[in-house]
Structures are given as C-alpha cells and as structure tokens.
C-alpha cells in the first residue's frame, strides 16, 4: 500500500491532484489507515496510469470517469484505444515536423 505522498513521488502527480481525484470519485483510495491517510494498492496505481494516459490526450476528467466506470469496461479495449491514440499523435507530430 502506498500513501498519497508516495504516489505523488512515483508518478509526478501532485498530492493536491490526487486528493481532488478522490473528491470527485475518479481515484478513490483503496482504504484509509487509522490516522485517516489515504492508501492505494497496485490496482489503484494502474487506474491512475490509465487516467494520466487519457489526460495526455486532453480527455476531460468527467469523460475519463465515465470510461473507467462503464460496466462493459474492457481493459483490452482500452489498450486498443490507447494504441490508436498514440498512432494518431505520432502521425500528427510527424506532419508537424516534431520528433517523438
């Protein structure tokens, strides 16, 4: 289990952002310890990784939450979607003369 501070250090996401994600129900902690500190397991870290990926493509938090909470959420489908987004980004950047 990891604390908010540890997750922030691992991912580069601010503790404030992590607390906000909890507030809006996007990334609730796995549990809270006796002192009330939020604790996250590896599954929560995986969810954060998916959130950060979608944010990279400027998808709104509301849309991300909807995607991740959809009852038919299929991890393989999301990975395929991520791959398509990366290919689009690569094409767009190569047309603009940017190196990836």
49-70 pLDDT tens trace: 989 988 887 788 998 898 888 7
Residue 44 lies in a domain: yes
Residue 74 lies in a domain: no
Does the structure show a pLDDT above 90 at 41?
yes
Q: Which residues pair with 32 in a beta bridge?
A: 38
34: left (phi over 0), alpha (psi -120 to 50) or beta: alpha
Instruction: Look at the chain and report how many structural domains it folds into.
Output: 1
Residue-number span of the structural domain to which 33 is assigned: 2-69
At residue 56, the pLDDT reads 82
Q: Which of these, 58, 19, 17, 55, lies nearest to 37 by C-alpha position?
A: 19
Q: Which stretch of 4-18, 24-38, 65-79 has the lowest confidence by average pLDDT?
A: 65-79
Average pLDDT, the chain: 86
């Amino acid at each position: 289990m990891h604390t908010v501070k540890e997750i922030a250090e691992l991912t580069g996401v601010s503790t404030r952002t992590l607390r906000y994600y909890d507030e809006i129900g996007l990334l609730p902690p796995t549990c809270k310890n006796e002192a009330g500190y939020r604790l996250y397991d590896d599954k929560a870290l995986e969810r954060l990784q998916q959130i950060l990926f979608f944010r990279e493509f400027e998808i709104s938090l509301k849309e991300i939450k909807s995607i991740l909470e959809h009852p038919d959420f299929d991890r393989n489908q999301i990975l395929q979607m991520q791959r398509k987004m990366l290919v689009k980004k690569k094409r767009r950047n190569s047309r603009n003369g940017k190196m990836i």
